[in-house]
Amino acid sequence: MTYSPRVVVLAGGLSHERDVSLRSGRRVAEALRLAQVEVTVHDVDADLMPMLAEVQPDVVWPILHGASGEDGSIRDVLGLLGINYVGTGPRASRVAWSKPVAKSVVARSGISTPDYVTLPQSLFRELGAQAVMNAVVSKLGLPLVVKPSRGGSALGVTLVQTPAELPHAMVTCFAYGEVALLERAVTGIELATSVIETADGCQALPSVEIVTEGPYDYDARYNPGRTEYFAPARLSDEQAAAVAQTAIDAHKALGLRHISRTDLILEADGTIQFLEVNVAPGMTETSLFPQAALAGGHTLPELYRSIVETADTH
């Protein structure tokens, strides 16, 4: 009898990125069904635990963006239940989920990442917002990027060009979370490099180059047509190899597993700057991971199935 794993795809969740997660989950489930995998899509709610007990899946694939999906907590629960799952374990998820912590970990392994500072909202209240903002601007310079220290899809992210824009950006950011990451803005070729682990080992998929008019914000990410993608990216062989190696290095330095997507900037002088990493990369019709997979000559059903099989250690 042919091996046919039973998979539960977790999608939805109660986060700002619920919509993206639902769309990603549906896409992955469709592809897996085409690969003869038995798939159930489920939200993270009070019915989940009884459902898992009943279905007894071979593998759970958490495609949850934001909050419990990426901070490791759902993965902790799956571990408690002894269920195999696709993706990074809880501790490494927690590290990757916090952008400043991830930056410091990859920096220790020799990867470049733009200078930054992490500041909670309470600090601005205690020390006076203007004084803190002045200090940040004089240390990091302008332009700089303000983003919530956790979270994806560019929600709450602002590119700040002048000091006058900074207070607005801080307010926008803190609506999403209590801690802000302020990072020196680097310019160059914007790249997303996905890493997968299958029976063939750990490999980087071709990088995807992102070209937008204006910021690569939420709207640009999820509305077809606002962004131009090049997959593979328009890089020389040496550049492509160096970028791929950086993504693999980051994947390993952070202890990630099965699947990740690293966002990078290739500067004009050849420096590769690490921005952030996603343990549950978007899988929607406009997302970067599926584009990279196709550019790498994979078909999505086969690739997703082989990722599931790698995760299934039964």
Partner 1 sequence: MRASEVRALFAVVNRPEVVSLAGGMPYLEGLPLDTIADTMQRVIATQGTTALQYGSGQGHQDLREQILDVMRLEGIDAHPDDVVVTTGSQQALDLVTRIFIDPGDVIVAEAPSYVGALGVFRSYQADIVHVPIDEDGLIPEALDETLTSLAAQGRRVKFLYTIPNFHNPAGVTLSLERRPRVLEIARRHGVLVVEDNPYGLLGFSSDPLPAMRSTDDEGVLYLGSFSKTFAPGFRVGWVVAPHAVREKLVLASESAILCPSNASQLAISAYLSTSDWKGQIKSFRELYRERRDAMVGALAEHLPDASWTVPDGGFYTWVKLPAGLDSKSMLPRAVTGRVAYVPGTAFFADGSGADHMRLSYCFPTPDRIREGVRRLAAVVNAERELVEIFGTSPAPDAMTDIETPGPDLL
Q: Which positions are catalytic?
A: 17, 153, 222, 261, 263, 276, 278, 282
Q: Does 216 bind partner 1 (CB under 8 A)?
A: no
Q: Does 27 bind partner 1 (CB under 8 A)?
A: no
Q: Does 73 bind partner 1 (CB under 8 A)?
A: no
Minimum CB separation of residue 123 from partner 1 in Å reads 10
Minimum CB separation of residue 41 from partner 1 in Å reads 15
Q: Does 150 bind partner 1 (CB under 8 A)?
A: no
The residue among 177 and 290 lying less far from partner 1, judged by its C-beta, is 177
Minimum CB separation of residue 311 from partner 1 in Å reads 27
Q: Does 170 bind partner 1 (CB under 8 A)?
A: yes
Residue in 99, 42, 101 with CA at minimum distance from that of residue 74: 42
Phi, psi of 252 (to 5 degrees): -75, -45
Q: Does 14 bind partner 1 (CB under 8 A)?
A: yes
- Whether residue 146 contacts residue 104, with contact meaning beta carbons closer than 8 Å, is answered with no
Q: DSSP for the chain?
A: -----EEEEE---SSTTHHHHHHHHHHHHHHHHHTT-EEEEE-SSTTHHHHHHHH--SEEEE---SGGGTSSHHHHHHHHTT--BSS--HHHHHHHHSHHHHHHHHHHTT-B---EEEEEHHHHHHH-HHHHHHHHHHHH-SSEEEEESS--TTTT-EEE-SGGGHHHHHHHHHTT-SEEEEEE---SEEEEEEEEEETTEEEEPPPEEEEESS---HHHHHSTTSEEEESS-S--HHHHHHHHHHHHHHHHHTT--SEEEEEEEE-TTSPEEEEEEESS---STT-HHHHHHHHTT--HHHHHHHHHHHH---
Judged by CB under 8 A, the stretch of 18-26, 48-56, 79-87, 255-263 that binds partner 1 is 18-26
The residue among 15 and 84 lying less far from partner 1, judged by its C-beta, is 15
The residue among 167 and 188 lying less far from partner 1, judged by its C-beta, is 167
Provide the mask over 86-125, with x wherever binding to partner 1 is found by CB under 8 A and - wherever it is not.
Answer: -----------------------------------x--xx
The correct pick among 159, 203, 218, 298 for binding partner 1 (CB under 8 A) is 218
Provide the mask over 174-193, with x wherever binding to partner 1 is found by CB under 8 A and - wherever it is not.
Answer: xxx-----------------
Judged by CB under 8 A, the stretch of 110-118, 166-174, 191-199, 285-293 that binds partner 1 is 166-174
In whole angstroms, give the CA distance from residue 297 to residue 57.
29
The correct pick among 5, 8, 9, 18 for binding partner 1 (CB under 8 A) is 18
Which residues contact partner 1 by CB under 8 A?
A: 14-20, 22, 45, 121, 124-125, 129, 155-156, 158, 165, 167-172, 174-176, 217-219, 222-223
